[in-house]
Amino acid sequence: MMHDHKVPATYREGKKSFRLSGKRGRALDICATLNHEYICCNIHVLRAVSNCPYDCSYCFLQNYLTDHQTTVVADIDALMSEVTALTTAYPRRFFRIGTWELGDSLALEEQSGCASALVKAFARLPNALLELKTKSACVNRLLDIEHNGRTVVSWSLNPERIIRQDEHKTAHLSERLLAMSKVCGAGYPVGLHFDPMIVYDGWEQDYQELVETVFSTLPTERIAWISIGSLRFNPEMKKLIEYNFPKTRITSAEMILGGDNKVRYVKPLRITMYKHLYDSIIKYGKSGPFVYLCMERWDVWEKIFGHSPRSINHLDYLITSSLHLRFPGLVHEAPELSLYDTNA
């Protein structure tokens, strides 16, 4: 992939090259659902990348982006000025901030080095944690950085069958697992995102084996959190997915329109999927990492865990409390629920 200043005409053309850019407009926001029946973890998002060289069939970017150019923001000082303004305005809050909302955090790291620069900058912040989420194995530039434990390197995970059929051009599972081992060896906490889970013949066995393989690779104490979610997309994306990926089968399952205007599997199937995966996590991962559902309803939480967060902010507090307990010194002070009751 080369630097390119030509404006791409199509979504796929934009994946063939990338350019480094300055920061345009506000870069820091909250990743939150628009419907409060669906619980979000309240992580903040830093728009450091846009578009992605990978080509996943379910990716919402094929329906979302109006500027098809793949870009990486190279002005780290400008990005960090927003982060610093937020974290200093709320010095007793602890903030999780990810760079993956509009693209893969590490897919272009070998060419750009921008994620590494953010890791170095976050290492100096007392009350914030950076999350880099990826489907790549591009971690070599991170391994010798003094990160101070303030970056979580996370992976989106699916069985190899889904990787080959629907996560085109991404790293294979074995490559992701090797990269996880490398960053663990370099002292980074790791995040796991089993999202989106996809239904197909044999999914139960494949996801159970996936969990077993991951937990035989990673020490449980290095896993910061685990999220679980299932396939979902805007209704208008169905035809677009089938046009862009004529061989995919992901749109053939029975799906319904949820209150957040996303098409997703029917609730009984989602509950079956989540419970199956969660039971595998408990079996192989035992206790430890905080496990949560991504963009799911309160009643689904109750079916899986026997309880649910009271609000998006409450889930933020619960995740922070888990980090404070499991990673001594990471969270600068014991979290107080009252500090998370308002959006910041």
Identify the DSSP state of 7: P
- CB contact at 8 A, 191 and 224: yes
Burial 186-215 (b: 16+ CB within 10 A, else e): eebbbbbbbbbbbbeeebeebbbebbebbb
pTM of the model: 0.95
**Cα distance between the two ends of the chain:** 38
Is 182 buried (19+), middle (13-18) or exposed (0-12) by CB count in 10 A?
middle
What are the sequence ranges of the domains in the chain?
Answer: 2-340
pLDDT 10s digits, 34-63: 677 899 999 999 999 999 999 999 999 998
CA–CA distance, 268 with 343 (Å, rounded to integer): 32
pLDDT 10s digits, 162-217: 999 999 999 999 999 999 999 999 999 999 999 999 999 999 999 999 999 999 99
Whose CA is closest to 305, among 269, 266, 279, 268?
279
- CB contact at 8 A, 123 and 156: no
Range 2-340 has CATH code 3.80.30.30: yes
Average pLDDT, the chain: 94
User: What SS3 state is found at 61?
Assistant: helix
pLDDT 10s digits, 314-332: 999 999 999 999 999 999 9
